Amino acid sequence: MFLCMATEISSPRPNTPAPVTAPDPSRTTAVDPRGLTAFLVLAFAFSWTAWWFGARLLDGGDPTPAVLVGAFGPMVAAILVTAFTQGRSGVGALFRRHSLRRRGGVRPYAITALIVLAIAAAAALPVFLGTATVEEEALRAALLGVPVQFVLIALVGGGNEELGWRGFALPRLQGALPPLAANVALGAIWAVWHAPLFEMAGTVQSEVYFPAYALLCVGLTVVLGHIFNSARGGVIAVVIAHAAVNVVSGLKGMLVGDPAGTLEVTAVLAVAVFLALFTRGRLGLRRTDDARATTGS
């Protein structure tokens, strides 16, 4: 009897696999692309409808209210599609992308500084070469307004788009395409999404050449995509980058003119190409995220 007891006690227990922890959906950067088509239809429908009606209701007046309303299209589409496909928990995870907790350290902000400096250099070069001049008083007044402009752009003037473009659309595109191809595709979509604004008097887009603007959108999307991936799926860093780019680009257009001009487009594309080459096309996307995308998790 004692021998039987000793045998039972000393017999090894079967190895039980450790429980697999499901990835936090607020940190995913590559997922199954389901829902992407519905998102794009809703985002375009909301924005283009707002801009179409706005242009007619304002009848040549200040287009800013209509532009701001339409800019919420990607966010609204992301929330609706997520609510329909994933329910309340999915919407909660979508908004948790705004969390600042352990989101890539300083890397996303270093990339932000790089693209901001590139656009600023595109503004400074004509002044340095003497082909453009800047009035000191105008520069001082413009700089005083930067903090307010930054907050407004982050909330309603571009940063509000990021929950849709990066928080929802980019992970699905990166679940179907390599990172570089996914961001180039999103950049082209982003450019076309702006198309109605080119026919609306008083907008920035109405003053620029669409092909140049499209190249600018593609370059910026590659940079913002790297920021998003480096921030582990967080959108706060991308919101900050988007607002910073818009502020600096707006200052450039106001002080030296030539919005979306050759120098600005070249500077942005140079940064995008550098990041693509430096990361071998990965743009900060971890291979473990690719693995999760292929397994459908």
What are the pLDDT tens digits along the chain (297 aa)? 443 444 444 445 555 554 445 678 999 999 999 999 999 999 999 999 999 998 888 777 889 999 999 999 999 999 999 999 999 999 999 999 999 888 999 999 999 999 999 999 999 999 998 888 888 898 899 999 999 999 999 999 999 999 999 999 999 999 999 999 999 999 999 999 999 999 998 899 999 999 999 999 999 999 999 999 999 999 999 999 999 999 999 999 888 888 889 999 999 999 999 999 999 999 999 887 775 455 443
Distance CA 47, CA 194 (A): 9
Distance CA 239, CA 106 (A): 15
Find out whether 247 and 145 touch, Cβ atoms under 8 Å: no
Query: Is 248 a member of any domain?
Result: yes
What's the CA angle centered on 261, arms 258 and 266, to 5 degrees? 145
**What end-to-end distance do the CA atoms of the chain give, in Å?**
51
DSSP state of 104: S
Domain that holds residue 47: 29-288
Query: Is 43 a member of any domain?
Result: yes
Query: Is 264 a member of any domain?
Result: yes
Distance CA 153, CA 239 (A): 9
- Which pLDDT does position 267 carry in this prediction? 97
Distance CA 93, CA 87 (A): 10
Distance CA 216, CA 210 (A): 10
Token readout for 287 is 């291979």
Query: Is 21 a member of any domain?
Result: no
Q: Which residues, 6 or more positions from 100, have their beta carbon under 8 angstroms from its beta carbon? A: 234, 236
For the chain, what is the domain count?
A: 1
DSSP 227-261: HHHHTTT-SHHHHHHHHHHHHHHHHHHHHT--TT-
Query: Is 4 a member of any domain?
Result: no
Token readout for 149 is 């402009």
Distance CA 156, CA 72 (A): 8
Please tell me whether the overall predicted TM-score, pTM, comes out greater than 0.95 for this model.
Answer: no
Distance CA 237, CA 284 (A): 14
Distance CA 157, CA 155 (A): 6
Distance CA 56, CA 76 (A): 23
Find out whether 237 and 228 touch, Cβ atoms under 8 Å: yes
The 10s digit of each residue's pLDDT in 9-60 is 444 555 555 444 567 899 999 999 999 999 999 999 999 999 999 888 877 7
Distance CA 11, CA 94 (A): 48
Query: Is 114 a member of any domain?
Result: yes
Query: Is 10 a member of any domain?
Result: no
Q: Minimal CA–CA distance to 248: which of 239, 259, 238? A: 259
Query: Is 17 a member of any domain?
Result: no
- Which pLDDT does position 60 carry in this prediction? 74
Mean pLDDT of the chain: 90
